Amino acid sequence: MKKITLLVFLCFIIQSVGAQNSTVKKAQANFDKAQQHLTTSNYDQAVTLLQEAVKADPAFQLAYVQLADINRRLKLYEQAKQNYAQAIALGGTPEPRVYYGFAEAGIFTGDYQNALKNITQFIASYKGSDPDFIDKAKKYLKDCEFAVEALKHPVKYEPVNMGREINSTHRDYFPSVTADRTQLIFSRNIDGNEDFHTSFRTNQSWSNPIPLSEKINTTKYNEGAQSISPDGLYLFFTGCNRPDGLGRCDIYVSHKTGKEWGEAFNLGAPINTPYWESQPAISPDGSTLYFVSNRPGGLGGYDIWKSTLKADGYWSNPENLGPEINTPYDEHTPFIHPDGRTLYFSSDGWPGMGNKDIFLSRADEHGKWTKPENMGYPINTFNEETGLIVTPDGTDGLFSSNLKGGYGDMDIYQFTMPEHKKPLPITYVKGIVTDKESKAFLEANVQVVNLKTRKVVYNDFTSKETGDFMAVMPIGSSYAFNVTADGYLFYSENYQLDSTYVNKPFVVNVALEKLIAGKNMVLKNIFFNTNAYVLLPASITELNTLKELLKNNMSLQIEIQGHTDNIGNDIQNEKLSLQRAKAVYDHLIEAQIAPERLTYKGYGEGKPIASNDTETGRKQNRRTSFVITKI
């Protein structure tokens, strides 16, 4: 839509040539000279000559209009407003575009009431047929109407500079943070070289930022607009003008193993193209990458696109987020919150305060986006607002700005998020995986599955160097948490997350046991209805994990065991426990596990692992387990 602004400006200049001239020779001479400078875009000299023209002839309306147009072109909006007002005050019937320019200058200075009056006047009097021009005017009308109301209902907004611990005398911007808020990564521009810096938080204090890694930062090229995965192990970022680039700016990724970042590599096609790809945002499960591109097939100049990670490890052909998010104008800086459903982004296409504003949209269970919601005033103003991220707990927004009182040209700030603009609540599970006997860190697969949707929300490997992991879990669902490693009994846990778990993370040290005869394990994610023995669909995740254990260890033999609490008839309890054990047995047989490797038995209430005097204890006793009978 930049072409519209240029078109409008040029229309003013062309219109001016045929308009009424001055009867004062000196004024007309200066005006004519100004036209020559305008043809070569020498605006400074043109302004000087036009000022001389109106000085010689204070009634030279056309010269005032041109001064206003040029000042608007140079983004000197206050001066442009003054010039437009002077032109209109001279009377007559100004060309309708004068009201358009006056309105635009008003919008970009926050003078919305007058802008509303002027853009309304333009729409009523404009007789042209340029559809882009008309659409832009209607867009400005919606902006003015929105802004007038937004000013009446400001949201609470008190930005706080993150201080000298983070900010410097240089430009600091584009913050991103891990799920546990212990690591911050941001861009710092020193003498034109843009690199990543990182800081770590301990005891509520941030460490002095240091350059991220020489494997990511370069001396010849710029790196910026990054997105860190919630677990802090993957960094997606924008690299421009690199020799391996497909276009001017491409998207790259680096993986952290232990404490070291790996070499960054270009994601390649189909994500990157000869066009401009930038501002990546990775979903919490690592399966969807959002980014900005001006490639063909979009709705406007720059749109938000997404690509999903396929089973073969390659990214799918990107798809445009469509008119639910994108407009004929520009959308930038997407940020998908760790809840996986709340998208924050900037746009100058949706009704706002006149420039780029920050919006949010939420995806429903089917992935359909809600109508974008403006973050409100004064989070958004007549200035350009972009690059908001929201902390995983949803309490704070982080952004960069050149607000007064900062330490450098641009600093990183944070503010408390308005309640109705917060993302959906989440928590996370983090910890380390070790060998129970040697205490050594293990390379293990950590998987978290939403038992309602059966969607994998986390699936990654720990490293032998640190053994650590961190997985985000949105509140309101039940999750299966499994950890597997070659030669070890897998780990099973179940998290049923209601509102009481908001921002209450789980810290788990998973000590895996080697496969030894006699080892017993409770299957935490095997489910039956009360007094029933038909496996519920939510059991599939755990059953698949058990199946893989058996397929990967062909000599392994197990006994599947059913258990109950002490409520009810002893005989019925034993029968029910046997039927439930057999249900698991039957499922494994159907999965092509050899029958001679499996046995099953119901123990009723005979082998409690907790007291039956409390509901908590009885719940623990109602379980399905297995024991290794041969290895």
pLDDT digits (tens, 9 = 90+) for 347-368: 999 999 988 999 999 999 889 9
% residues pLDDT > 90 (the chain): 88
- Whether the pLDDT of residue 292 is over 60: the answer is yes
| Structure confidence at residue 3 (pLDDT) | 44
| Mean predicted confidence (pLDDT) in 579-589 | 98
162-173 pLDDT per residue, tens:
999 999 999 999
Closest Cα to residue 267, out of 211, 219, 221, 308?
A: 308
CA distance 347 to 332: 6
DSSP E strand boundaries for 90-181? 160-161, 171-177
pLDDT value at position 192?
A: 86
pTM score, two decimals? 0.91
Per-residue pLDDT for 587 more than 60?
yes
Across the range 515-537, mean pLDDT stands at 96
- Look at the chain and count its residues: 631
CATH topology of domain 160-421: Neuraminidase (2.120.10)
Predicted pLDDT of residue 365: 86
Residue 93 binned pLDDT confidence (cut-offs 50, 70, 90): confident
Closest C-alpha among 79, 64, 70, 22 to residue 45: 70
DSSP 596: G
Per-residue pLDDT at 7 exceeds 50: no
Q: Which two tokens stand for residue 362?
A: 């939420």
Using an 8 Å Cβ cutoff, are 580 and 533 in contact? yes
What pLDDT score was predicted for residue 368?
A: 95
Whether domain 2-152 has CATH 1.20.1740.10: no
What average pLDDT does range 448-470 have in this prediction? 95
* 8 A C-beta contact, residue 313 and residue 286: no
Yes or no: say if 232 and 256 are a contact pair by the CB < 8 Å rule.
yes
How does strand 160-161 pair with strand 205-206?
A: unpaired
Is the bond into 270 cis (omega within 30 degrees of 0)?
yes
pLDDT at 8: 47
Least confident of 5-19, 35-49, 210-224, 291-305: 5-19
Query: Is the predicted pLDDT of residue 326 greater than 50, yes or no?
Result: yes
pLDDT (0 to 100) of residue 132: 86
Task: For helices 96-107 and 2-17, give the axis angle rounded to 10 degrees.
Answer: 140
The model's confidence at residue 130, banded by pLDDT at 50, 70 and 90, is confident
Query: How far is 554 from 611, CA to CA, in rounded Å?
Result: 37
The residue behind tokens 């089917």 is: 366
What is the rounded average pLDDT of the residues 412-440? 96
pLDDT by residue (tens digit) across 54-65? 999 999 999 999
- 5 pLDDT tier (thresholds 50, 70, 90): very low
- Stretch 586-597: mean pLDDT: 97
| More reliable by pLDDT, 600 or 11 | 600
| Tens of pLDDT, residues 363-385 | 998 899 999 999 999 999 998 89
Query: Taking the CA atoms of the chain, what radius of gyration do you get in angstroms?
Result: 32
Using the predicted structure, report yes or no on whether residue 41 has a pLDDT greater than 70. yes
pLDDT band at 16 (very low <50, low <70, confident <90, very high): very low
Of the pLDDT bands very low, low, confident and very high (cuts 50, 70, 90), residue 9 is very low
C-alpha–C-alpha distance, residues 399 and 387, integer Å:
6
Domains 160-421 and 516-631 belong to one CATH topology: no
590 band by pLDDT with thresholds 50, 70 and 90: very high
pLDDT, residue 19, reads: 53
Q: In this predicted structure, what is the pLDDT of residue 2?
A: 44
In whole angstroms, what is the distance from residue 518 CA to residue 257 CA? 35
Using CA atoms, how far apart are residues 252 and 272, in angstroms rounded to an integer? 9
Segment 142-156 mean pLDDT: 97
pLDDT over 90 at 211, yes or no: yes
State which H helix or E strand residue 227 sits in: strand 222-228
Mean pLDDT of all residues belonging to the chain: 93
Q: Please give the single-letter amino acid code of residue 582.
A: K
Q: Does residue 600 have a pLDDT over 50?
A: yes
* Residues 516-631, CATH architecture: 2-Layer Sandwich (3.30)
Residue 393 above 60 pLDDT?
yes
Which fold would CATH assign to domain 425-514? Answer: Immunoglobulin-like (2.60.40)
Where do the domains of the chain lie? Answer: 2-152, 160-421, 425-514, 516-631
Q: Residue 220's pLDDT is what? A: 87
